[in-house]
Chain A
């Protein structure tokens, strides 16, 4: 148990494999025929002959036994090849990777907003002595979690673009076009951060060490920010890895609301066209995102909590999972 990193790396590889396998089972084994969707959608289904279908099937490798298909695709996927987009013929991996920067800019800003606002709500809500303010702030996260994000995005466009004219309504140009999509993305994520951090802060405030520090003459602010927050931030930090994956998934809705280019748009149109290789590439990319961020969080843990140095953070990992499941 002294060296957790190789073990964590192995776990990361297993998660990636699992995501690939799950998407293979769903996309390639469930009934539904992408070839028919493609040919039928093009120049009218009437010209479609059985020979056309058979040729397309062979080209996509759909005639092989399942195990052979799985082996071939897994081998290709390890090399970053998920096949060609059924709709456009482009390489699925390239298609997804080209869309990545635009999505990263809104998910990055969204994560920042979520951490700042979620954190502020939790910290202020536990710090304030006003019962009214504390209850008000505690009621915000459940509210944020209950609003449909696609609708929030549209309402934001209505208010800030059409009524006030502060930011452009649609499109991908410039920083000002980033703000509304990032706020929309940040809403459910910030709500979860606010909820978890507030709960964790309350637990820490009940610990005996708080009284000791206060008795030694430290101010409330010093206790709150210097001691309690540091300890409470750890469980919330585990969440960040999980939530970043959710942000990426949330971009499907946000990008379609704001007509922005990016992974979400690519995913939405791939689902509409039943473009299996592209959907699979997106799913594996989301798993990669999840895995890399969790590894980063795991490496950051010992830095924040010296007690954990050299210990496998399996406990933190399972905590993150439990929260993400809800």
Chain B
């Protein structure tokens, strides 16, 4: 983040990335996938929903980068167009965990006493059930669809955020500047909003980037099981599921969508690791 335009700072900045080709590649993968989600038409001319029956089950070629499926739809087009739905679900789920988890943690950490105990016991309970089962239970209750899947995954991951936020609030709360603000007569809500929240949010935001990778995996797993979008609509998990019947004859139908998910998860994990600490070390 250098707006400082001294040559040495710029060179150090460039050196930071040059020594980390993996990080540069990861950022590129994320940017590419984001572009897929926003302007899919730029990347593929094929229709993701309507296929050309004459061209069905063709292997990867220049015309069809990822091959075609059993109704002649271009798999690459379906992956590109699926990015919007899959990424939106992932972002929504991370936002649910982040906002609800941070709010609970803030409440527990700042109020203390019985509020703290109550909130933290609820968080304990959320952690006592494996997160896949928890999100499956939520899907059972809420019903199917991409949005419900996203909410279910978000709630299942919320406990970690609440814990971290609470710990951060407890750390910041004892700071001299908080004491000073209180002594100067700033109201409780003011201290919370102006001093405690901005100073405790950093690590929680890093956790959000770390959770992004897990959320991609969980959302696509639920979509694979068939609880996401209804069939013709492409979604990464359901694309992999769609190729199950053609494993022996059309390997590309499962391999490429799966590789896409893996690449996105690896890339986000790499970037969040960089955000977590590498930058500060340089």
Contacts and interface: CB of A to CB of B under 8 A. Distances in A.
Q: Do A and B come from one complex?
A: yes
Interface of A: 15, 18-19, 21-23, 26-27, 30-32, 142-143, 145-151, 154-155, 157-158, 162, 169, 245-246, 248-250, 252-253, 256-257, 267-268, 270-272, 274-276, 279-280, 282-283, 286-287, 290, 321, 324-326
6 contacts: A19-B128, A22-B128, A26-B140, A155-B255, A253-B225, A271-B136
A283 B254 CA distance: 30
B146 interface: no
Nearest to B261: A148
Summarize A's interface: helix, strand, loop or mixed.
Answer: helix
Contacts of B159: 325
B14 interface: no
Given A31-B142, A148-B265, 12 more contacts: A22-B128, A26-B137, A26-B140, A27-B141, A146-B213, A149-B221, A151-B254, A155-B254, A158-B254, A272-B227, A274-B143, A282-B133
A186 to B, nearest CB: 16
A319 to B, nearest CB: 14
A139 to B, nearest CB: 10
B225 A252 contact: yes
B137 A155 contact: no
A286 B210 CA distance: 26
A321 B213 contact: no
B254 A290 contact: no
Contact of B139 (A256, A271, A325): A271
Given A162-B248, A271-B136, A279-B136, A155 B258 contact: yes
Contact of B133 (A151, A267, A326): A267
A23 B134 CA distance: 8
A143 B254 contact: no
A147 B217 CA distance: 8
Interface residues of B, number: 48
B240 A148 contact: yes
B144 to A, nearest CB: 8
B140 A21 contact: no
Contacts of A15: 128
B127 interface: yes
Contact of B247 (A146, A154, A280): A154
Q: Which 10 pairs of residues, A with B, have the shortest CB-CB distance? A: A151-B258, A249-B130, A30-B141, A18-B125, A249-B132, A146-B265, A162-B248, A325-B160, A150-B224, A146-B266
B105 interface: no
B110 interface: no
A317 to B, nearest CB: 11
Interface of B: 124-134, 136-143, 159-160, 163, 210, 213, 217, 220-221, 224-227, 237, 240-241, 243-244, 247-248, 251, 254-255, 257-258, 261-262, 265-266, 269
Contacts of B126: 22
Which of B210, B247, B254 has the most A CB atoms < 10 Å from its CB? Answer: B247
B133 A249 contact: yes
Nearest to A246: B130
A229 to B, nearest CB: 27
A286 B247 contact: no
A278 to B, nearest CB: 9
Contacts of B131: 249
Contacts of A18: 124-125, 128
Which of A18, A31, A268 has the most B CB atoms < 10 Å from its CB? Answer: A18
Contacts of A246: 130, 132
A239 B181 CA distance: 43
B140 A27 contact: yes
Contact of A22 (B125, B247, B251): B125
B137 A148 contact: no
